[in-house]
Structure 1
Amino acid sequence: MWILVFFDLPTETKEERHRHSEFRKSLLKDGFNRFQLSIYTRCCPTVEHANMHIKRVKNFIPPKGTVSIMCVTDKQFGKIVIFHGPKERPAPKVSPQLELF
């Protein structure tokens, strides 16, 4: 399971820039990786684990701006097609899933 956090936060004032920076730092501290400028991702082994991280993100969302959170399966995330300029790039490496028997 992958968590994708999309955000569009205001950065017009010094306080807003500080909140934007703190939000990004909080995502990084919680194990998210930058996928694009305002998109961060995190791989979770279970839905329960993903829900725990979603609750954490909700706790440090700034008062202004928009934050969206989406969960996709490992298989869905693996089907991402990335274009950089005119060339197609391979999808990012998928973290191995933990299997318990």
Structure 2
Amino acid sequence: MQRISEYRAMWILVFFDLPTETKQERREYALFRKRLMADGFTMFQFSIYLRHCASRENADVHVKRVKKLLPKKGYIGILSITDKQFGNMELFIGKKETASQPEGQQLELF
């Protein structure tokens, strides 16, 4: 089986800061999060969700979907990076660096 190139595979990160002062704003915040998760995004940190995509073309499809979900108020950022760039991220809990995750095997279903 051929491995997907870490320069071709992409990660989409969605950063958002949405107002939650009124009941309606909290409802829109919750709906935005639910729709992100329904499209395969998972929470990385509070208000930061990410999704792995096999290619730039696949990432573009999901970016367009996120743009259709944008709430009326708030600040939203969308960043697409390669799997190689994502792998260079350093993660810490406090001052202690976390152990790297072992590389997973990419499976393809036809």
TM-score normalized with structure 2 length: 0.83
Match of 2:32 in 1: 23
User: What is the rounded CA distance, in whole Å, between the counterparts of 1:92 and 1:12 in structure 2?
Assistant: 38
User: What is the rounded CA distance, in whole Å, between the counterparts of 1:11 and 1:57 in structure 2?
Assistant: 20
- Give the letter aligned to residue 20 of structure 1: Y
Structure 2 residue corresponding to 1:10, chosen from 3, 19, 25: 19
Following superposition, which runs of at least 4 residues in structure 1 exceed 2 angstroms of deviation? 90-99
Match of 2:58 in 1: 49
- Structure with higher Rg: it is 2
TM-score normalized with structure 1 length: 0.90
**Structure 2: gaps spanning 5 or more residues:** 1-9
Deviation at 1:86, TM superposition (A): 2.2
2:96 maps to 1:87: yes
CA contact (8 A) 1:45 1:98 kept: no
- Give the letter aligned to residue 92 of structure 2: F
Structure 2 residue corresponding to 1:69, chosen from 78, 90, 110: 78
Identity across matched positions, percent: 55
Deviation at 1:85, TM superposition (A): 1.2
1:19-39: CA deviation from partner (whole Å, max 9, x where unpaired): 000000000000001000010
Cα-Cα RMSD: 1.7
Match of 2:48 in 1: 39
How many pairs align?
99
